[in-house]
Amino acid sequence: MDFERITELIIELEIDDISDAVKEALETDGKDPYDVLNALTKGMDEVGRRYESEEYYLTELVLAGETMKEAFKIIKPAMAASDKSKEKAKVIIATVRGDNHDIGKNLLGTLLLSSGFEVIDLGMDIEADIIVEKVKETGAKIVGLSSLLTMTVNQITAVHKALEAAGLRDKVKLIVGGAPLNMELAKNLGADDFADDAVEGVRHIQELAES
Ligand code: B1M
């Protein structure tokens, strides 16, 4: 199974074939799970491009998301097996309020787990207050937020302010990711750190956990 075929299966929304294709790439061909992941992500980028140019509509976006989730079910255990545990810090992850994209967040969660972190995944469309309550309850020192929509990036500021109001802001590191963001914008919105992708996210979180 070559990587181009995996990319194609995502673009063509082949939800019934994706699991077998990913299995074949990993088990029969011995491909690195991270390379398979790149092929899947490339497919999602093309789906996004087609959506922008109105070749695809919301139905296709939904199906692409579902197809990606099927692929993740196979790739997740392979990723967990390919890394060794190092840290055991607690990390809360969530997609911000108003945003129902969770594939990037789930990917970050999987990679964090496989790097030995304890991951508390609150899900998507999460209110700032719920995040603050979870920080109090678990004592987590790192919060990772995902925001894929331009119109929801201001929710990062809401979380920053809610932590501040609870007297927790200086005890918690806030890292964010998602396509509309960059380091400068993330800091302006009140975050401590930004990562371009989930692999970089794990590296930054490891650094934050050690700081
Ligand atoms: Co939507 N969507 N979507 N969508 N969707 C995007 C994001 C969009 C870029 C498509 C486009 O127009 N090109 C666009 C946003 C434009 C913008 O605001 N800048 C968009 C839009 C407009 C919308 C709707 C508004 C459409 C509508 O209703 N008219 C709507 C919004 C709903 C809502 O959230 N309230 C909507 C809905 C959806 C679905 C629900 C149908 C579905 C999501 C399914 C799901 O997640 N369960 C969906 C999908 C699938 C996409 C695209 C095609 C793919 C997203 C994805 O999963 N990518 C997307 C286009 C694209 O991204 N190319 C698009 C793969 C995933 C691995 O990447 O999540 O970006 P991503 O995560 C990356 C990085 O961002 C980063 O690491 C990951 C890579 O390693 N990262 C982090 C993310 N979080 C991180 C946290 C970190 C560190 C790194 O540390 C804490």
| 133-150 pLDDT per residue, tens | 999 999 999 999 999 999
Listed residues 64, 81, 98: the one ending a domain: 81
Q: Separation of 166 CA from ligand 1 center, angstroms?
A: 30
Q: Separation of 149 CA from ligand 1 center, angstroms?
A: 7
Distance CA 34, CA 209 (A): 23
Q: Does the C-beta of 111 come closer than 6 Å to ligand 1?
A: no
Say whether both 95 and 144 belong to one domain. yes
Read off φ and ψ for residue 33, nearest 5 degrees. -55, -30
State the residue range of the domain holding 66.
Answer: 3-81
With tokens 């129902």, the residue in question is: 100
Say whether both 119 and 62 belong to one domain. no
Say whether both 17 and 59 belong to one domain. yes
- Whether 126 contacts 75, CB under 8 Å: no
For 146, the 3-state DSSP assignment is: strand
Q: Does the C-beta of 61 come closer than 6 Å to ligand 1?
A: yes
Listed residues 20, 48, 81: the one ending a domain: 81
Q: Which of 42-51, 109-118, 124-133 has the highest mean pLDDT?
A: 124-133
Say whether both 48 and 102 belong to one domain. no
- Whether 104 contacts 160, CB under 8 Å: no
- Average pLDDT of span 180-191: 98
Kindly give the number of the ligand 1 atom that is closest to the alpha carbon of 61. 41
Q: Separation of 100 CA from ligand 1 center, angstroms?
A: 8
Say whether both 147 and 74 belong to one domain. no
Distance CA 131, CA 12 (A): 37
Say whether both 96 and 54 belong to one domain. no
Strands of 142-146's sheet in order across = 118-121, 90-95, 142-146, 173-177, 193-194
Q: Does the C-beta of 192 come closer than 6 Å to ligand 1?
A: no
Q: Does the C-beta of 162 come closer than 6 Å to ligand 1?
A: no
- Average pLDDT of span 169-197: 97
- Average pLDDT of span 5-16: 96
Say whether both 67 and 111 belong to one domain. no
Kindly give the number of the ligand 1 atom that is closest to the alpha carbon of 151. 18
Say whether both 96 and 153 belong to one domain. yes
What local confidence, expressed as pLDDT, does residue 55 receive?
A: 95
Distance CA 36, CA 110 (A): 15
Atom 8, ligand 1: which residue's CA is nearest? 48
What local confidence, expressed as pLDDT, does residue 99 receive?
A: 98
Say whether both 55 and 115 belong to one domain. no
What local confidence, expressed as pLDDT, does residue 140 receive?
A: 97
Say whether both 105 and 198 belong to one domain. yes
pLDDT tens readout for residues 162-175: 999 999 999 999 99
Q: Does the C-beta of 175 come closer than 6 Å to ligand 1?
A: yes
State the CB neighbour count (10 A cutoff) for residue 60: 15
pTM of the model: 0.85
Listed residues 31, 51, 81: the one ending a domain: 81
Say whether both 153 and 195 belong to one domain. yes
Where residue 186 sits, what CATH number does that domain have?
A: 3.40.50.280
pLDDT tens readout for residues 73-84: 898 888 766 654
Is the pLDDT at 85 greater than 70? The verdict is: no
With tokens 């969770």, the residue in question is: 102
Q: Does the C-beta of 104 come closer than 6 Å to ligand 1?
A: yes
Say whether both 105 and 127 belong to one domain. yes
What local confidence, expressed as pLDDT, does residue 86 receive?
A: 45
Where residue 34 sits, what CATH number does that domain have?
A: 1.10.1240.10
Distance CA 197, CA 211 (A): 21
